[in-house]
């Protein structure tokens, strides 16, 4: 039975393109339908434009092409050699145009921005805007603007014990003096590490004269030596895009006469003043009335990438005041512990001074939130929203600041496809009610022009399984010609990171299959409200990376879902307990788990006490925590005592660390999805209040298992009684599931999933349950229902089988004696793609050459003929088979009703035609389709069209490939030879249908 009305879940007013400023779940926007999601909920491409010299007609055509293959829009990013060219390899790219004219923010860039917006409106797409060139962390500005990124310059001078200092403080004149400090070194293990006596640290800033003179008696008699430290506030001078005069140039550069032409600077990320530099530049240079109106119509996000800039010591002019106000003591005398220098300083305190470093990082976190808040408010003033890759790479509390942006974004590369890392990112976003958790997807090192769609789908599935629900595919380079740049296209990062989507790829005409698949997943995962079983307390002030926190697999094997929250997140409005449930209007957590090695905070502990007294089950795993965030001995003692007192409550449990899933089950804290399977299955739950539907995403992760393997069987018991429907994200079909067991509280469904396969099941509480199969049997390949009857499909099985229906009836099924057979004797027409006649004229497109091969059985191209080892392109496979199968002594065609075509796993893309009828897109993890209605008596023709990456053909031309004057062969090795083509055997699986119940 096809269910059509559920495909229009979460419909809002039609005809509205941009999403506006509401960043909350169940926002009133146009979602489209499951079959055809709107641009608002579709994936987008990161669109790299080299600089502002791009041919605007090609820019328009690129945007048109993005829409035609199913993208919802683009993220406009001026590449500009990835900003600070010092990142690069030994061979730097060279300027191919006059950046004085074509730099970010000038008239040429403004014209390009207008072209992008106009094209997006024409083709009904939406646009995200990198706030500045490359990663969006800065804009053109006067080099001495107070809103630019700051640093601390550190100096020290060693003074003998018992001596005095009388002279100019070290480093005087470097910048504005932040602090001067003296201290005694009590231990020096080597030249790179020294221990300071905490009691000896003295802030002597007030003793320094206006000319930098200092006279101070250092009367200490114990210790190794005295140190006089001085710290100065300086601009970091970190470039977001280089000035034309500072980069190798292949063409003459015009003189720089204004700061707009002088490149871009990273702004201060620890103050609203830093945000204001960006805001002022846009307001003054880019936002006229027409542009502002177009942004309101098609704009989506102002956006900033992850923070990949660096300084010696993170600082901002108001840091000391903020630290004093928020931590309750002066930071000055502890700056030697914080400032980066050739020597690492610690103190003789029990924690070696670590608590002061944590206080420093916590203060940075709070100041960074002011920067994020300012950009969020400005973006909303433009009637759009703000998205950022929040905090990670830096020493701050990532979880605390995620709620401060409208669309928090993570990434597959920086998070290493790690599902536990995604859970850490998702928890605060969900608690804050964010509709979107975005992801920069698909970047893989050393995989450019080689990344198979199956690998991308694997990566996307791991993110989807942990609630990431909006993807920006990395990336789509401008498809036009560029100086000293060869086919296939301008290539970002000098051939180091995948992928370069666009018409230069043989798969381009087929990308819509997986992009529409992703769009439908995004439609569902942006619908309703996520529900999660367990919240983990997680307090850290250093997210230079996002490692696994909970490494045991017991929770996922049992079906539990879990996320992480910083106690800082407990200040959010929805962080309360009602009827023993934490955040009932958000994740509706069933329990809060705190590990013994976790870190307490004063405010977090107070909230924890409230939650426990409100009836929330609180689990202390491995014992009671005693670590405390920062330096506050009084608050630490109080927090430890409060936690200890909670153990008298009946809903608070101190349990061993190991066996958490079993412990929770023993306490009757059960998952929404109880999983029993012989593989690793992940589930993710969303509840749509508008349609009374629960959506559950299910994924069989086959990480580490060879391609094409990983088929698993099992069942899941779902905590719902709604009627189940299968949402096929590849085809867009929605069909009723008719084989399950129903109790008063749960639905249990048997499932078989291929390696890396994902499915969506929706449970609708307003749909009526029909008679269905309650206990199935071996050989039953499908159970379907329509308005008239319940039907069972039976594949090859030589025995009679019995099934039981939900009305109590038992039905015996006769043997099905027609086996599956493998298609053979294929004709392959191979369309080989090679460079154009002028390899530097990208716009000519590839040279296409056809060859024909007769192949008895399917093999990778490089095994069909040695001449095909370095070939990429499109393969057109054709064969025929007779239907029905010939009768034999062991089989009979008299009882055959139809057949499934089964292609196994597809590595890249595949389109299938049977007797002239193009099949819907097939799930590439297990590409099969019921072709019963398409079969005809006698010969039947099957055509399969596959595409490949460009990696194999580029092996031949690797020494010729060049981008912006950099040759690929000088940067990375050529691609490895890969197996291309239709590789898995294609089978025809006959079936018989038995009508087992009439409605």
pLDDT in tens, 454-511: 999 999 999 999 999 999 999 999 999 999 999 999 999 999 999 999 999 999 999 9
- CATH classification at residue 634: 3.40.50
- 3-class secondary-structure state, position 488: coil
pLDDT at 83: 74
Gyration radius of the chain's alpha carbons:
31
What's the confidence (pLDDT) of residue 82?
86
Whether residue 130 sits in one domain with residue 103 = yes
Does residue 552 sit in the same domain as residue 485? no
For residues 522 and 536, state if they share a domain.
Answer: no
Helix (H) or strand (E) holding 635: helix 633-646
From 767, 785, 803, give the residue that closes a domain: 785
In this structure, what token pair is assigned to residue 714? 């099992």
- pLDDT of 894 reads 58
Say yes or no: 913 and 849 in one domain.
yes
Same domain, 477 and 563: no
22 and 40 in contact (C-beta within 8 Å)? no
Would you say residue 371 lies in a domain? no
Residue 8 is predicted with a pLDDT of 35
CATH number at residue 915: 2.60.120.260
Tokens linked to 885: 């199968």
The encoded tokens of residue 787 equal 């308005």
Clarify whether residues 170 and 29 are in a common domain: no
Which helix or strand (DSSP H or E) is residue 424 part of?
Answer: helix 419-431
**Same domain membership, residue 592 and residue 521:** no
Residue ranges for the chain with pLDDT beneath 70: 1-17, 84-90, 887-894
CA distances from residue 825 to 50, 266, 788, 937, 957 in whole angstroms, order as listed: 47, 61, 41, 20, 33
Domain count along the chain: 5
Residue 240 lies in a domain: no
The position carrying tokens 């990429």 is: 872
Q: Are 620 and 701 within one domain?
A: no
The answer to whether 218 and 226 are in contact (CB under 8 A) is: yes
- In this prediction, residue 91 carries a pLDDT of 80
59 and 155 part of one domain: no
* Residue 757 lies in domain: 673-785
d(CA 122, CA 118): 6
Q: 988 and 880 share a domain? A: yes
Report yes or no on 796 lying in a domain. no
Residue 897, in any domain of the structure: yes
Could you tell me if residue 810 is inside a domain? no
Strands 213-217 and 164-168: antiparallel
Supply the pLDDT for residue 18. Answer: 75
Q: What is the pLDDT of residue 887?
A: 62
Domain end among 644, 666, 688 = 666
Joined tokens for residue 389: 């890759």
Q: Which residues contact 640 (CB under 8 A, 6 or more apart)?
A: 600, 624, 626, 628
In three-state secondary structure terms, 144 is: coil
Residue 799 belongs to a domain: no
Residues 226 and 264 in one domain: no
Neighbouring residues of 636: CB distance < 8 A, sequence distance ≥ 6: 600, 628
pLDDT digit string (tens) for 122-136? Answer: 999 999 999 999 999
Which pLDDT belongs to residue 89? 56
Q: Are residues 634 and 705 in the same domain?
A: no
* Of the residues 528, 552, 576, the one at which a domain ends: 528
Q: Say if 791 falls within a structural domain.
A: no
Residue 158 lies in a domain: yes
């Amino acid at each position: 039975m096809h269910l059509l009305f559920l495909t229009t879940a979460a419909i809002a007013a039609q005809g509205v393109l941009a999403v506006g400023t509401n960043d909350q779940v169940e926002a009133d926007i146009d979602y489209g339908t499951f079959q055809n999601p709107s641009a608002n909920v579709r994936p987008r491409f990161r669109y790299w434009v080299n600089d502002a010299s791009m041919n605007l007609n090609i820019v328009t055509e690129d945007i048109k092409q993005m829409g035609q293959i199913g993208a919802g829009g683009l993220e406009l990013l001026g590449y500009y050699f990835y900003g600070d060219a010092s990142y690069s390899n030994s061979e730097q790219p060279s300027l191919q145009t006059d950046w004085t004219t074509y730099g970010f923010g000038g008239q040429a860039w403004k014209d390009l921005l207008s072209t992008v917006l106009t094209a997006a409106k024409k083709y009904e797409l939406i646009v995200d805007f990198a706030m500045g060139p490359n990663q969006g962390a800065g804009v053109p500005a006067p080099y001495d603007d107070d809103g630019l990124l700051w640093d601390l310059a550190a100096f020290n001078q060693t003074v003998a014990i018992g001596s005095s200092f009388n002279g100019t403080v070290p480093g005087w004149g470097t910048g504005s003096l932040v602090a001067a400090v003296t201290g005694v070194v009590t231990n020096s293990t080597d030249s790179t590490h020294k221990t300071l006596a905490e009691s000896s640290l003295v802030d002597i800033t007030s003793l320094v004269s206006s000319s930098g003179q200092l006279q101070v008696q250092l009367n200490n008699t114990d210790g190794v030596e005295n140190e006089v430290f001085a710290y100065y506030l300086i601009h970091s001078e970190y470039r977001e895009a280089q000035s034309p005069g500072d980069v190798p140039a292949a063409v003459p550069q015009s003189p720089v006469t204004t700061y707009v032409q002088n490149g871009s600077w990273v702004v201060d990320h620890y103050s609203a003043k830093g945000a204001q530099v960006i805001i002022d530049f846009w307001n003054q240079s880019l936002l006229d009335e027409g542009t502002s109106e177009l942004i309101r119509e098609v704009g989506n996000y102002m956006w900033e990438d992850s923070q990949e800039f660096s300084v010696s010591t993170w600082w901002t002019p108001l840091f000391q005041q903020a630290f004093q106000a928020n931590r309750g003591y002066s930071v000055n005398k502890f700056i030697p512990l914080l400032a980066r220098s050739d020597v690492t300083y610690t103190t003789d305190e029990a924690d070696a001074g670590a608590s002061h470093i944590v206080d420093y990082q916590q203060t940075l976190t709070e100041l960074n939130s002011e920067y994020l808040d300012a950009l969020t408010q400005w973006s909303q003033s433009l009637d759009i929203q703000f998205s950022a890759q929040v905090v990670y790479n830096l020493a701050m509390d990532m979880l605390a600041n995620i709620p401060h942006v409208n669309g928090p974004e993570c990434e597959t590369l920086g998070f290493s496809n790690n599902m536990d890392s995604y859970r850490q990112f998702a928890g605060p976003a969900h608690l804050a009610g964010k509709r979107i958790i975005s992801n920069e997807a698909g970047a893989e090192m050393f995989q450019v022009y080689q990344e198979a769609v199956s690998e991308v789908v694997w990566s996307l599935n791991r993110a989807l399984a942990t609630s990431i629900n909006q993807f920006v595919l990395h990336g789509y380079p401008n498809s036009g010609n560029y100086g000293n740049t060869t086919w296939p296209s301008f290539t970002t990062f000098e051939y180091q990171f995948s992928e370069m989507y666009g018409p230069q790829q043989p798969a381009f005409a087929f990308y819509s299959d997986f992009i529409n698949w992703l769009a439908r997943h995004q439609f569902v995962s942006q619908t309703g409200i996520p529900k999660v079983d367990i919240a983990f307390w997680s307090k850290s002030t250093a997210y230079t990376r996002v490692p696994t926190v909970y490494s045991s697999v017991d929770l996922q094997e049992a079906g539990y879902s879990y996320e992480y929250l910083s106690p800082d997140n407990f200040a959010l409005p929805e962080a309360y307990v009602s009827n023993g449930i934490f955040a009932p209007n958000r994740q509706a957590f069933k329990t809060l788990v705190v590990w013994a090695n976790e870190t307490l905070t004063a405010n977090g502990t107070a909230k924890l006490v409230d939650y426990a007294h409100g009836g929330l089950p609180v689990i202390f795993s491995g014992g009671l925590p005693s670590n405390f965030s920062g330096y506050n001995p009084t608050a630490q003692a109080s927090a430890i005592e409060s936690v200890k007192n909670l153990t008298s409550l009946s809903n608070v449990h101190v349990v061993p660390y190991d066996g958490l899933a079993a412990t929770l089950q023993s306490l009757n804290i059960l998952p929404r999805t109880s999983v029993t399977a012989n593989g690793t299955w992940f589930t993710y739950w969303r509840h749509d209040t508008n349609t009374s539907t629960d959506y559950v995403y299910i994924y069989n992760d086959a990480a580490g298992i060879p391609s094409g393997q990983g088929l698993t069987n099992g069942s899941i018991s779902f905590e719902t009684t709604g009627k189940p429907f299968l949402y096929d994200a590849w085809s867009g079909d929605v069909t009723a599931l008719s084989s399950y067991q129903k109790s008063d509280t749960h639905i249990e469904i048997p499932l078989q999933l291929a390696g890396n396969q994902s499915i969506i099941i929706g449970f609708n509480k307003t749909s009526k349950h029909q008679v269905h199969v309650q206990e199935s049997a071996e050989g039953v390949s499908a159970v379907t229902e329509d308005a008239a009857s319940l039907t069972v499909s039976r594949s090859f099985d030589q025995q009679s089988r019995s099934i039981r229906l939900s009305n109590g009836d038992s039905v015996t099924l006769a043997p099905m004696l027609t086996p599956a057979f493998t298609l053979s004797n294929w004709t392959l027409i191979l369309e080989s793609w090679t460079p154009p006649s002028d390899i530097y004229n990208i716009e000519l497109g590839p040279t296409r050459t056809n060859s024909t091969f007769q192949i008895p059985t399917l093999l990778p191209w490089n095994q069909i003929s040695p001449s095909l080892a370095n070939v990429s392109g499109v393969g057109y496979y054709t064969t025929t088979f007779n239907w029905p199968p010939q009768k034999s002594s062991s089989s009979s065609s008299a009882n055959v009703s139809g057949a499934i075509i089964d292609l196994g796993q597809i590595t890249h893309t595949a389109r299938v035609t049977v007797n002239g009828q193009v099949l819907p897109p097939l799930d590439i993890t297990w590409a099969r389709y019921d072709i019963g209605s398409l079969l005809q008596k006698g010969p039947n023709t099957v055509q399969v069209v596959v595409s490949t990456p460009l990696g194999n053909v580029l092996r031949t031309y690797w020494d010729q490939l060049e981008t912006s004057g950099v040759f690929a062969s000088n940067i990375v090795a050529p691609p490895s030879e890969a197996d291309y083509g239709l590789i898995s055997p294609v089978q025809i699986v006959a079936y018989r249908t038995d009508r087992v119940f009439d409605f």
